Amino acid sequence: MTVDPLIPGGVVSLSGEAADRLLAAGSGDAALLYLALLRRGGQADLNTANRALKWSGERLAGAYDALVKAGLADKTPPAPSVPVLEGADEPPEYRAEDIAREMGDGESPFPGLVGEVQRRLGKILSTADLKTLYTVYDYLALPAEVICLLVSWCVEEQERKYGPGRKPRMPQIRKAAFAWRRLGLDTAEAVEAYLRRQSALHSREGAVLAMMGVAGRPAVDEERKYISAWVEMGFDDDVIRLAYERTLFKKQNMNWAYMNAILKKWHEKGLHTMGEVLSKDSKWRQAAAAGQPDAGRVNDDIQWMQEFLAREKAGEEGK
């Protein structure tokens, strides 16, 4: 597995013996992996090779095993086939020499990635910043196009929260990159689908905050967690407002945990629309009429429901 790095034009050299062994192995994946390793100068760096192949860990391991059986690779892979994520282990401590070597590789997409990240952040990356970016690129093995989407998303989130012109720092981008990797956001298609969902959630956040009388600011992280959960449960906006009204009636002020408990209870009962929730009210009326022990609580709920509906009717008539 050697290649002459001085061949003009950067030609990848494949010996006749290696070609014969690959043909005998009959594995297209093994042949592709072998070419990817040769393209990196014959260094058996599986993570780096897999950035070009974009395979699953299982497929990569199968191809490597085929190379081992063909006598074209060592029995023990020199690098993990799937990156170890933050929390389970620490990434390697990259040196300035590692960055310089990658920047000097005319075939590497890393130099172009550095330039694009600098453009999007509006600054020249420091050595520490470059090491952080290289961690995302090399250790997490995220494709350059995914990293560009990640940086743009981080910039948009920073500006959405703190105003135009505010840019994220590289440690923030690194944290988001690990989160994306855990979510399996390692292709442009997966990222674009995720960003569409996030955009829809942001719109719902604004609508939910508005019905609570909050305007002029985005949701804070704790509020986003609650609203995101309610959206995932499938609640209509009017049902969320109904829970908000009930929270104010019971607590006399906004209590996110209490409101969340109301919605979770409705979710457990399969009540996600106004019609479904109001149909439940008929059972409270039946309980009150039957004189059950909790009739006082039931009557409170009926009073709250009647007041809510009266406000809703007044609002509709005022439009």
Mean pLDDT of the chain: 77
- Each residue's pLDDT tens digit, 235-288: 888 888 888 888 888 888 888 899 999 889 888 888 888 888 877 655 444 444
Which phi-psi region, left, alpha or beta, contains residue 5 (left: φ > 0; alpha: ψ -120 to 50)? alpha
**26-44 average pLDDT score:** 74
Nearest to 202 by CA among 160, 166, 148, 167: 160
Highest mean pLDDT among 58-62, 73-77, 183-187: 183-187
Q: Is 60 exceeded by the pLDDT of residue 319?
A: no
Assign 123 a pLDDT band (cuts: 50, 70, 90).
Answer: very high
- Each residue's pLDDT tens digit, 72-116: 777 655 444 344 444 445 788 889 999 999 999 888 999 999 999
Residue found under tokens 């408990």: 261
Q: Is 90 exceeded by the pLDDT of residue 176?
A: yes
Assign 56 a pLDDT band (cuts: 50, 70, 90).
Answer: low
Nearest to 235 by CA among 192, 267, 269: 267
Q: Distance (Å, rounded) from C-alpha 79 to C-alpha 47? A: 7
The full 3-state SS of the chain, as one line of letters, equals CCCCCCCHHHCCCCCHHHHHHHHHHCCHHHHHHHHHHHHCCCCCCHHHHHHHHCCCHHHHHHHHHHHHHCCCCCCCCCCCCCCCCCCCCCCCCCCHHHHHHHHCCCCCCHHHHHHHHHHHHCCCCCHHHHHHHHHHHHHCCCCHHHHHHHHHHHHHHHHHHHCCCCCCCHHHHHHHHHHHHHCCCCCHHHHHHHHHHHHHHHHHHHHHHHHCCCCCCCCCHHHHHHHHHHHHHCCCHHHHHHHHHHHHHHHCCCCHHHHHHHHHHHHHCCCCCHHHHHHHHHHHHHHHHCCCCCHHHHHHHHHHHHHHHHHHHHHHHHC
In the prediction, which pLDDT does 304 show?
Answer: 55
Is this prediction's pTM over 0.75? no
Q: Distance (Å, rounded) from C-alpha 260 to C-alpha 253? A: 14
Assign 310 a pLDDT band (cuts: 50, 70, 90).
Answer: low
Assign 38 a pLDDT band (cuts: 50, 70, 90).
Answer: confident
In the prediction, which pLDDT does 224 show?
Answer: 82
Residue found under tokens 């509906």: 309
Residue found under tokens 């407002």: 241
- Each residue's pLDDT tens digit, 187-208: 999 999 988 888 888 778 888 8
What's the one-letter identity of residue 40? R
**140-160 average pLDDT score:** 92
**162-177 average pLDDT score:** 93
Q: Distance (Å, rounded) from C-alpha 22 to C-alpha 249? A: 74
In the prediction, which pLDDT does 109 show?
Answer: 93
- Alpha carbon dihedral 19, 21, 24, 30, in 10-degree steps, equals -80
In the prediction, which pLDDT does 81 show?
Answer: 39
**42-48 average pLDDT score:** 56
